[in-house]
Structures are given as C-alpha cells and as structure tokens.
Structure 1
Amino acid sequence: MTDAAEAFITTRREGAILEVTLDRPKANAIDLATSRAMGRTFAAFRDDPGLRVAIVRTGGEMFFSAGWDLKAAAEGAEIDGDYGIGGFGGLQLLPDLNKPVIACVSGMAVGGGFELALSCDLIYAADHSRFALPEIRAGTIADAATIKLPRRIPHHVAMEMLLMGRWMEAEEALRWGLVNEVLPQDRLEARVWEVARLLASGPPLVFAAIKEVLRVSEAEDFATGMARMMNRQLPTIDRLYGSEDLHEGARAFAEGRDPVWQGK
C-alpha cells in the first residue's frame, strides 16, 4: 500500500462502531492502490472483535464516489488489475464479512461508486443524491451491479439502468426499495449514526449468522439452505446455537429486561 493511497482513507472509532471515510478529491474515484487500501481497512474491521458495525462515507457533498478512476485508466492503469483482498472498493468480495455495514451516501454514486453502496447492508442517502451506471457509454459492463441490481429492484428497472445508463434520483431509489431512507443533508449523518448505535447494541452472533446465511443461500435452493441451518453446517449458525448469548436472550425475555450481548 502506498502512503498516497493511505492518505485518502480515514477512520473514526466510537465504541464498537467504525466510520470509514474515503476522501479523494474531486470525485472520490477509486484506483487500484486506493481499492487495496480500502480492502485492508475493511479486513481489519472484520477481524477486530471489538468492532460490530461499520459506516462507509465519503468526503464532500457532490460525489459519494465516481467509481473507477477513469483518469487513471486513460493514463494506462489496468482495469482488471489487483483490487486487493476485498475486490473493487474493498467490500464486494471480502471473505467472511459477517458484520453490518451501512452506506452513508451524499451526492452522486456512479458506476463503481454505486456498486460500493450496493456492497453495504443498509443504504441511507441525502435527498440530493443520484445513482447511475454509465459503463455502457464507455463500452464496458458494470460487472457487480449487473449481478446485484436485478436482485434488489424490479428486473426491468434494473435493466433500464444497465442498458441505458440513466440516472435515478434518491426519491425514486427509495420508491424501489434500493435505499432505506432519504434525508436532508443536514440530518443524514446523525441518522446513520443513530442506526449504527442501534446495531452496535444488538446481538453480534445473530447478525453474523444472518449475513452468512444470506451469502451462502444465494447459490442454494430453500430446502438446502434450511437443512444447512438446522444441521448447524454453517460456522456462524453452529456458534450461535451453542452460545451463551442464545441463553441470555431467553433469560432476558423471561425476566422482562434488556439482554446483555457478549458475542460468545
């Protein structure tokens, strides 16, 4: 990792929450070195037992991220080079990421920037935000979005974005369920932190099981997925069903109190 790439990524920690900020003017575009640095940042989050939730945000209000750095590509950078441990943007291919990640989107999420948001579990957007996949106009494919987007919104709406590169405003994204909430810019970050704190107080072993089940079951039929859970064939399910937290949840319910989750 180069020092230059490191300089574009900052983190802020509050208890069990890690806020990761990409600030790479002018458009928060991501080149290979920045992608590798982001991957290392998110891998460190994944591997830190004291962290439970991550927030992904970017500097400025005009661009959440313009995605792949086309200027770098025009100067000869490899489009299919080494993006690092997590794939492009550090998240979409990161193995065993079983903690919730929230996207805090302010401004335009374009191409790979849109895909970065899609790699998160929850998306909160400022009301001036816009989304687009303009790769078609550059003669290439929005690879991750081609797989993910038709699974998130109606097929024909997704295909319109992929085939035509049209822009989607934040309110339309909310209408299709692509984002969780749309808020005024001055309320966005406070709302994201409110959600992050709520998740940080929740049961981490359950969150981990949910994320693994969702990830694995995408390639399986319903019966197979259910059998794998019932037979404790997934590591997170096996850990959850043998955990102290599972008993704590039952005790807390019976005693009429809030549970104290320890992640074990």
Structure 2
Amino acid sequence: MIREQACLSILVLTEDSAEGSCETVAALMKKMVLLVDPACRTHLIAFEPQGEHEQRAMRGNLWKSRSPFDRQKIILLGRAIAAKLIEDPIGFVAFHVDGDRRWAERASSENVAKFAEFVSTYVQPRVHDALRRQRDRDALAASDQDIARAAEAALARLLRLTPFRSIEAWLYQNTAEARRLCQAACGRHVAKIDGWAADRGALDELEDPKAELCLGSEHHLELARRAFPADEVFGANKSYAAAVVGLLDCADLCAALARTHA
C-alpha cells in the first residue's frame, strides 16, 4: 500500500505550554478546515509542531515582549514564520493566541493588537528580505511591486486562531466529552455543561472558562479530537466562527485544501 504524501503543511504555533498543546490546536484546526472545505482530506495535511526556538518565544506570550533581553528570541520566531510562509510549495502558519477578553470585549484585546504589531515588526520585513534575496539569487524578472504582492500573499498565509477568552472556551464546546470526563471526575458540573450545550455562545462570554470545570489541561487533546461538534460551535457565531471565516478568507489555503480532494 502506497502512503499518500501531504498536499500542504502548516506550522502550528501556540502560546499554550501544556503538554500536547500543538496537537490540540492541530486537532481543532482539522475540524475548522472541514468547515472551510468539507471535501478536503485532512490526513493529507501535515501539521508541524513548533520547534525549540519557537517554543521559547511563544511561551508566556514572550512574542509580544518589548524587553531587549527577549528581542533575539522574537527575531528567531519572526524568521521561522517568514521562512515557512515563503516555502515552495507554499507553507502556512497557524498562530494560536488567546484573546484574554470576553467575546463582547474583543475590540479591546491587547493580544490581537500586539499580534498585528509583531507581524509588521518581525515577520513582514523578513518576508520582503527573503523574497528579494530569492529574486537576486535566481535572477528573476520581478519588480519591487511583484515582491510587494508576493509578500502580501505570503502574510495572508499566517493564520491567527484566537479563542475568547481562552482556548477552553473552544474545547469545552465538546459538551458530550466534557460531561463524560466530569462525571468520571466529580460530577458536580454536569448541569453547567448541559447549559453550554443549550447556549453555545455562553462559553465565549465567561471571565475564566478553565476555572469553570474540574478538567485540567491533560484532557485538552481528548476534547479537541473526540467528536468535536464543529457545526454547532460555528453556529454560535462567536470566536470559533471568526477563526473559521479567517481561514476561508485565505485564498491560498482554500486552493491547497482543494488539492487534497480524492
């Protein structure tokens, strides 16, 4: 039996330092891309975990630090993202950062604003530089305008995934699995979980979702993988839906997903 090769690759970056965090984000994203393209075959997507340098810069939101002591780590993160974005065949980067606000207060999210600043300071210039070096090395007939358009397309492949307030607001949407895990642990939160199943938008408005249940981060991957109700969560039209729409807006991603079709 010949194993099919991946049609696209996505570097997964996450601020979550818990064990299995990259796998958790990848599992959530697999459900998202099926909403973008129901015919895509997710086993043909290679999800790459962050490396050591990226881990150092992502942990504890160091990527948005202004301390000179952190600058070199952030530079290396920006360089790794830029390198992935200009790969041939083209690569993608999924950047998970929590909104740290309730969905109703999303306009005041510092992380969203800092992400835009990080991209313009540490990623965009390196993408431009790499494309210019590529042009000069290969003697390509590409004008500065061509480089600018290529850089814009590359930066569109940097996909921000932002749960509000935190990633538990997405994971606890798997109310069937959360209910099962809670019953095995203490059983005290079953009524609350049932309430979320009836009103899925409520999870995005909690001050601290991870403090609501008896479940620790060791269950994150189970919640992301086991029958995650993506359609229902999308229907809540809050932060999960916004992330899916962000993927749908990436033309290169839609084209790459189409290449996975049977």
Give the TM interval when normalised to the shorter protein: under 0.3
Structure with the largest fraction of helix: 2
Structure with bigger RCO (C-alpha 8 Å, 6+ apart): 2
Higher strand content, 1 or 2? 1
Structure-2-length-normalised TM-score: 0.26
